[in-house]
């Protein structure tokens, strides 16, 4: 991928759908797991599907059904769900320079998940402004529908699926780190960026490997940004 403007040839939404296909490998197995776990936590299949449809935020949905099942107060369930999703606050402002004035963008923000943000942050600057809305609509809808569809699959047939193809369930989620590698590789343009991004990767890996996946992203991102600004100010001071 390059930063030059590339037209999708008048079918921007198809281009968005095509670019979002790698997300399915990560979304569907996790959504199947969510459907299965929600069922085991006492939610009906339709309730699990509605939660995926309206909340649409992976980690926080697992927390939501887990806390409800354990009998936690509902106000605390809501607060914890929103706290986990607080990282989403910085996504839309990062995309704002490439979004047009169309009012549809506001509704499309429902689909601004971690992975859709990562994809859009790389692809939107490379598209002509007339194609960005269509591209984002295609990418966002495919990701959303795959999440809801995966939840339905898990809720109605999760146990049978994971029992029959255990390896598939293990392998497909690797599509997400593979996608992030591809999205991130072009950003290693200097030692400054390499240090900041490398720090964020290692810190998030350590947090997640030690059972703190929800803290991993915000803490690692803040440390990565701190490394960037500290190194930048040191370089300026030396000059």
Return the residues of window 122-161 that contact another protein according to CB under 8 A: none
d(CA 239, CA 32): 54
Residues numbered 181-200 forming contacts with another protein, rule: CB under 8 A:
181-185, 187, 193, 196-198, 200
Which pair of structure tokens corresponds to residue 44? 């009906």
d(CA 71, CA 88): 27
Helix axes 12-40, 58-69, angle to 10 degrees: 20
d(CA 214, CA 82): 12
Cβ-based nearer residue to another protein, 12 or 179: 179
Q: What is the DSSP string of 81-104?
A: HHHHGGGGGGHHHHHGGG--S-TH
Residues numbered 67-96 forming contacts with another protein, rule: CB under 8 A:
68, 74, 77-78, 81-82, 85-96
Please choose, out of 5-13, 117-125, 132-140, 156-164, the segment that lies near another protein by the rule CB under 8 A.
Answer: 117-125
The residue whose two tokens read 């990701």 is 143
DSSP 3: S
Nearest distance in Å: CB 33, another protein: 9
Please choose, out of 5-13, 115-123, 131-139, 145-153, the segment that lies near another protein by the rule CB under 8 A.
Answer: 115-123
8 Å CB contact between 158 and 35: yes
Please choose, out of 4-12, 136-144, 155-163, 174-182, the segment that lies near another protein by the rule CB under 8 A.
Answer: 174-182
d(CA 23, CA 20): 5
Nearest distance in Å: CB 168, another protein: 8
32 contributes a contact to another protein by CB under 8 A: no
d(CA 201, CA 185): 12
50 contributes a contact to another protein by CB under 8 A: yes
Nearest distance in Å: CB 238, another protein: 20
d(CA 27, CA 33): 10
1 contributes a contact to another protein by CB under 8 A: yes
Of 8, 36, 57, 161, the residue at the interface with another protein (CB under 8 A) is: 57
11 contributes a contact to another protein by CB under 8 A: no
Please choose, out of 6-14, 130-138, 148-156, 206-214, the segment that lies near another protein by the rule CB under 8 A.
Answer: 206-214
d(CA 135, CA 123): 9
Which pair of structure tokens corresponds to residue 28? 């569907």
Nearest distance in Å: CB 4, another protein: 12
Of 19, 35, 39, 146, the residue at the interface with another protein (CB under 8 A) is: 19
């Amino acid at each position: 991928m390059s930063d030059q403007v590339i037209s999708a040839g008048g079918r921007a939404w198809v281009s968005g759908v095509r670019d979002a296909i790698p997300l399915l490998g990560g979304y569907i197995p996790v959504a199947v797991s969510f459907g299965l776990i929600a069922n085991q936590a006492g939610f009906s299949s339709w309730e699990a599907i509605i939660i995926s449809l309206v909340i649409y935020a992976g980690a926080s949905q697992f927390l939501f059904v887990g806390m409800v099942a354990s009998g936690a107060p509902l106000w605390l369930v809501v607060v914890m769900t929103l706290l986990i999703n607080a990282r989403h606050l910085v996504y839309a402002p990062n995309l704002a320079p490439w979004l047009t004035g169309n009012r549809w963008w506001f509704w499309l923000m429902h689909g601004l998940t971690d992975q859709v943000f990562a994809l859009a942050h790389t692809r939107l600057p490379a598209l002509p402004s007339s194609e960005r809305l269509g591209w984002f609509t295609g990418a966002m809808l495919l990701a959303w529908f795959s999440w809801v569809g995966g939840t339905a699959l898990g809720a109605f047939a999760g146990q049978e699926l994971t029992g029959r193809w255990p390896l598939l369930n293990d392998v497909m989620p690797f599509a997400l780190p593979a996608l992030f590698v591809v999205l991130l590789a072009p950003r290693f343009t200097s030692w400054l960026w390499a240090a900041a991004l490398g720090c964020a990767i290692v810190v998030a890996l350590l947090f997640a490997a030690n059972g703190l996946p929800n803290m991993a992203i915000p803490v690692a991102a803040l440390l990565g940004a701190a490394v960037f600004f500290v190194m930048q100010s040191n370089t300026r001071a030396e000059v």
